Amino acid sequence: MSRFAEPVFVAAGLRTPFGRGGGALAAYDTVSLSVPVVQAMAEHAKPDLVVWGTVIPNLGWSNIAREVWLDAKLNPNVPAFSVVLACSTSMTATFAAAGMLGGGTDLTLVGGGEVMSRPSLALTPEASKRLTDLFAKDPAAALAALQALTPRDYVLPTKGWANRITGRTMGDHMEETAKAWSISREAQDDWALKSHQRAVAGWNAGFFDDLVIPLTELKRDANPRSDTSAERLAALKPAFDRDSGFGTLTAGNSSPITDGAAACWVANAVGVAKLPSDTPYVRLVDYEVSAVDLHNEGLLMAPSYGIPRLLARHGLSYPDIALWEIHEAFAAQVLANVAAITDRDWVRTKAGVDQDMGQFDWDRVNPNGGSVAIGHPFGATGARDLSQAVKELWAQPVGSRAIVSICADGGQGTVALLERV
């Protein structure tokens, strides 16, 4: 059983190395950092459609997908459109592309990017209206008013990327969820250490060599640390709850500010045939987009609804999943969502799934590291996760299944069910 009338496939794509915030890639903007990725993808195959996304707004463009494609000097007759769903942006782009296959659209280039080092500054709505009204009536007075702007007239990133409704960052919310689920600092640091160790081992073993295009400024991911240890992680101070004495989220067990761009392919059988013969690809069986009440259930807990629902729809349980690629916004977020999906009462009352989902195998999760180590450029993470999962699943027997899960700001999340073919 599949969501789609005809088989839909996701094929591994390419990405930039992920750079540390303020580091080697900080001179790019999101368009210019995305260009080398789509150029490299287009050298492998010619897409019929491009779907691209970014999360941090920029008034310099309204359709980043088209801007990237044209700046890449590629075929102007290929249409391109943009999507955004917070951290799930490029996974949502994948779902959108899957629904548009057919009718001559056989191969879609999907992805996203983010240069978190360079967020745009914006005027408040009040200041913006004041200036635009003045420019329409008295340009000289408008210029004088522009020079007289104060910090209160700007929307400044003083609290990072805080949720608009609550005014609190994702880390603030995750501290609350970690306490609600009794996720210890030790457990978070342990998962963070595993993420770094696995990402470093993946790079050393060559796993990322055909997934990452080197740039002049950076050849490999800058965030994974080969020198980290349990002792070093334990020595870090809380990054969000600094005052209560009970904060557990730190810079070490949270995904870092990151710059990067990533892509993958979405295709039908005709589109797959256009790809190089050695391109790993899997079937996209189904997907789930879920949402929760962020005030009561946790800002980043939507995957705990989506995962059981998606599996139950196909008569599957946790042991049927050979690979779990779970986005690590925070180590605590991974631990809390898995705690929820292994809580029979939560699955029944919240996700509405009344069946025993079986044992969850932690050894099958993120075998080459996750976002805590690799980094999390918002718009790029979905495509990075999908390409990584496709390559990992490609090495397993035909019929093996994977779940790729991403939480997103606003109390939302996306989950994909993949199958090795």
| Phi, psi of 289, rounded to the nearest 5 degrees | -115, 120
Please tell me the distance from the alpha carbon of residue 190 to that of residue 167, in angstroms, as a whole number: 30
Residue 1 is encoded by which pair of tokens? 């059983």
Q: How far is CA 189 from CA 144, 223, 374, in A?
A: 52, 16, 15
Give the other-Cβ count within 10 Å of 107's Cβ.
23
Please tell me the distance from the alpha carbon of residue 234 to that of residue 357, in angstroms, as a whole number: 34
| Catalytic residue selected from 173, 196, 327, 407 | 407
| Catalytic residue selected from 87, 196, 264, 327 | 87
Closest by CA to 261, choosing from 129, 376, 167, is 376
Give the other-Cβ count within 10 Å of 359's Cβ.
10
Residue 418's contacts (CB-CB under 8 Å, 6 or more residues apart) are: 10, 282, 283, 284, 285, 389, 390, 393, 401, 402, 403, 404
Helices and strands (H and E) in the chain: how many: 14, 12
Token look-up 């240890």 returns: 229
Plot region of 412 (φ>0 → left; ψ -120 to 50 → alpha; else → beta): beta
| Catalytic residue selected from 173, 196, 327, 376 | 376
Q: Is 264 considered catalytic here?
A: no
Q: Is 314 considered catalytic here?
A: no
Q: Please spell the DSSP secondary structure of 325-352, one letter per residue.
A: EE--SBHHHHHHHHHHHT-HHHHHHTS-
Q: Is 87 considered catalytic here?
A: yes
Which positions are annotated as active-site residues?
87, 376, 407
